[in-house]
Amino acid sequence: MTQLYKIDFSQGQLVEVQDISPAPAVQETYNPYERTYGQEYKENLDIAEIAKIVRKQLKAHFANTTWSVTVKRYSGGQSMNISLVDAPGVQLVDINPKYTPDGYPGHNLKKWKYSDTYNKMMEQAKGFAQSYNYDGSDIMTDYFDVNFYCFTGVKFNSKADLAIDAAIDKIEKEYVA
């Protein structure tokens, strides 16, 4: 289950709070031939309305950050893109302790990794949206049935993106193997 966190932006540290995560899907036992529904799913709620709700949740939960929540509609369905635009004072990347410079296949060749704070923020942002989603997909037959697809990340060329690039450059220059 996704656990919700609040971030103390004065120090850029995670502060765990009570578990206010959306409950798992309403269905109690898994049946691959039935849909599972998020806790907040309502049949007639449009994706644009869900995006507004998600924006409010992000603003309330991650003070001092800026997010972009956009919606796309297309012939195969619809999607929601949740992008971090700015997160002043939050460390978004760390040095990768599993870095191996030897170049063997399967080894981690990146000197950096996204921070736990960043990963928890993205997981939580996606959790807000997914609580309004349903999933009746069957991957065995390549059949997809969702209310909407949901993607999270950092908005290209935003302040958060530039901060990540600067942190990566710093790690690349200062890292001693």
How long a stretch of residues is the chain? 177
Confidence at residue 106, expressed as pLDDT on a 0 to 100 scale:
61
Give the tens place of pLDDT for each residue, 135-145: 888 777 888 88
Beta strand spans in the chain (E): 5-8, 13-16, 36-37, 66-74, 77-86, 93-95, 112-114, 134-135, 149-154
Q: Which one has a higher pLDDT value, 70 or 3? A: 70
Is the pLDDT score of 68 beyond 60?
yes
Give the tens place of pLDDT for each residue, 28-46: 555 666 778 888 888 889 9
Q: Is 9 helix (H, G, I), strand (E, B) or coil?
A: coil
Burial of 12 (0-12, 13-18, 19+ CB in 10 A): middle
Which of 47-56, 100-109, 121-130 comes out lowest in average pLDDT?
100-109
Q: What is the mean pLDDT of the chain?
A: 81
Mean pLDDT confidence for 70-84: 94
Alpha helices in 37-103 (DSSP H): 47-61
Confidence at residue 5, expressed as pLDDT on a 0 to 100 scale:
55
CA distance 172 to 80: 33
Q: pLDDT-derived band of residue 69, with 50, 70 and 90 as boundaries?
A: very high
Residue 110: other Cβ atoms inside 10 A: 13
Confidence at residue 13, expressed as pLDDT on a 0 to 100 scale:
56
Share of the chain above pLDDT 90, in %: 40
Mean pLDDT confidence for 57-77: 92
Is the pLDDT score of 130 beyond 70?
yes
Confidence at residue 38, expressed as pLDDT on a 0 to 100 scale:
87
Confidence at residue 25, expressed as pLDDT on a 0 to 100 scale:
47
β-pair type (13-16, 5-8):
antiparallel
Residues 6+ apart with CB under 8 A from 5: 14, 15, 16, 17, 120, 124
At residue 101, what is the residue type?
P
Report whether 96 contacts 79 (CB < 8 A).
no
Is the pLDDT score of 18 beyond 50?
no
Mean pLDDT confidence for 146-163: 91
